[in-house]
Amino acid sequence: MAKREKGGFWVGVAATIVYPLSGLLGRRRYLHGDRIPRQGSVLLVMNHISHLDPIYDAVFVHRHGRVPHFLAKHSLWNIPVANKILRGTRQIPVYRGTTDAQQSLRAAHEALASGDLVVIYPEGTITKDPESWPMNSRTGVARLALQHDGPVIPIARWGTVDIYDHYKKRFRPFPRKTVTYLVGEPVDLSAYKGSEESLAVLREVTDLLMNRVKDLLSEVRGQQAPEGFYGPRKA
């Protein structure tokens, strides 16, 4: 088995913060974590249900021997101390609705090309679905998945919204909840590789990946997932 990936000083600083915090707020349960390669480029595709997700996801990835690189809102880089950790751990700022929007994907491409593990929430923000199922996602995940040869792995996480629900303004750390992760098999995208990346293809690949995530989430929750994806316009 490969050794744990080295992260450097700032990854160590981040670990001293997120490990105790995540352990305090909830227990962790990992299913099929061995499907995450210990080295080489990897794209993890995950659902997004709570602002606590990155904290738990960072610990989850690190416990499986890798250093996580998240695509995160650029506004986080304006927070004192946090900006030093984000820069030091080489996280990827996302600039939406600006001339720098494509820079986010370029940085993610560079990270994958360098053999890093990148975590992406294709929904772009925490889901607005009233039952916390995935909503319509952005196609940037398809561009990343199709332009790199590393594995694309869907993962469902459940439990963080029971601790902190942003839309209901509800924070309930006690009694301690369990945050569960179910890691899926790498998605075979060979049928799409080499084809023109039209909007139709990008949408199809994006929905394929998020359907895998939704199926895993259905298994974790023990509930039947709804057809399609939630869209605010449908509400």
- Banded model confidence at residue 235, pLDDT cuts 50, 70, 90: very low
State the distance between the two ends of the chain, measured CA to CA, in whole angstroms. Answer: 48
pLDDT for 106 equals 86
In this model, does residue 151 exceed pLDDT 60? Answer: yes
Summary mean pLDDT of the chain: 90
196-210 average pLDDT score: 95
> Domain range for residue 152?
34-67+103-223
**Mean pLDDT of the region 210-232:** 95
Residue 9 lies in a domain: no
pLDDT at 90 over 60: yes
How high is the pLDDT of residue 72?
80
The reply to whether 168 falls in a domain is yes
Question: How many independent structural domains does the chain possess?
Answer: 1
pLDDT in tens, 35-44: 999 999 999 9
The reported pLDDT for the residue numbered 1 is 41
- DSSP-assigned letter for residue 90: T
d(CA 77, CA 88): 11
Of these ranges, 102-106, 159-163, 231-235, the one predicted with the greatest mean pLDDT is 159-163
Give the pLDDT confidence score for residue 99 in this predicted structure: 52
Residues 184 and 114: their CA atoms lie apart, in Å, by 24
Query: If 0-12 CB within 10 Å is exposed, 13-18 middle and 19+ buried, where does residue 40 land?
Result: middle
Token pair in block for residue 56 = 């738990």
44 within domain boundaries: yes
Tokens representing residue 208 in the block: 């394929």
SS (H, E, C) 164-182: EECCCCEECCCCCEEEEEE
Tell how strand 152-158 and strand 177-183 pair up: antiparallel
Residue 21 counted as domain residue: no
Quick: pLDDT tens for 47-66.
999 999 999 999 999 999 99
Query: Is residue 150 in some structural domain?
Result: yes
Least confident of 122-126, 150-154, 228-232: 228-232
Q: What is the pTM of this model?
A: 0.92
| For the chain, percent of residues with pLDDT exceeding 90 | 70
Number of other CB atoms surrounding residue 132 within 10 Å: 22
Top pLDDT among 123 and 92 is at 123
Separation of CA 76 from chain center: 16
